[in-house]
Structure 1
């Protein structure tokens, strides 16, 4: 059983807005902004840089913590990454299976906290 007495969900100030530009296979990068609210809702805004009119989209939904309280899962997202490891003032985008991205580009999958709600 996982020890949930000390986890990101209860030990970190995770509520707030996170921003970063993550790699994109067919564009210059995906400008990503995620706002996590205390009531377990989120707003995800993405801008595909270098695409016609820098295609922007916004998604609102709920998220939940995994069993050990270290990762969040954004509901309502299919066929795209929807899991993030929650660190101190950072979100780390995980791969489609929920694993940390490794290798030379790993640091490019981080979103920095820009404000506290």
Structure 2
């Protein structure tokens, strides 16, 4: 029984990690709201919830280089209202993938930050319309909350 549970747990984790299907560059280029033929940077921003501060001002910028098939991102997170009285800003950058489908909707378009890094460094955002990304939990589920988990596209 112990080995069955171990095998079942391993298979479940593998299934969750491969929930979405990665789109190839030809397919992903057709997602106009994320990438364009001119390969410009597209920025989304918003104030995300924080467990021990007033909120996290988050700016996520997405880009695909024409000569490089990797999708690149930059993210800046500023923690506001910290107990120390100071704002703390973290910047990160890396690659992202566009996935088709998530745990609930097989047709959802999901952006996975840091697909080739440790699961704790990955983040997921679902495209909601042309001008909004909504943060998902680590299992690509919608975060059930009355708090705002959306980033809006900057014109």
TM-score category by the smaller chain?
Answer: 0.7 to 0.9
Q: 1:34 aligns with which of 60, 73, 79?
A: 60
Count of aligned positions = 109
CA contact (8 A) 2:111 2:124 kept: yes
Q: Which residue of 2 aligns with 1:62?
A: 95
CA contact (8 A) 2:56 2:78 kept: yes
Q: Which residue of 1 aligns with 2:125?
A: 84
- C-alpha distance in structure 1 between counterparts of 2:143 and 2:97, whole Å: 21
Q: Which residue of 2 aligns with 1:47?
A: 78
Residue segments in structure 2 that go unaligned for 5+ positions in a row: 1-20, 36-41, 66-70, 102-107
CA contact (8 A) 1:83 1:94 kept: yes
Structure 1 length normalisation: TM-score? 0.79
- Structure 1 residue runs of 4 or more that deviate by more than 4 Å after TM superposition: none
CA contact (8 A) 1:90 1:111 kept: yes
Cα drift, residue 97 of structure 1 = 1.2
Q: For residues 35-72 of structure 1, give each alpha carbon's deviation from its aligned partner in whole angstroms, at most 9, with x where no partner exists.
A: 00023100010000012421001001000112447101
Residue segments in structure 1 that go unaligned for 5+ positions in a row: none
Q: Which has a greater percent of strand?
A: 1
For the pair 1:14 / 2:37, whether they are aligned, the reply is: no
Cα drift, residue 80 of structure 1 = 6.0
Q: Which residue of 2 aligns with 1:110?
A: 150
For 2:30, what is the secondary structure of its paired residue? helix
Q: 1:98 aligns with which of 130, 140, 143?
A: 140
Structure 2 length normalisation: TM-score? 0.61
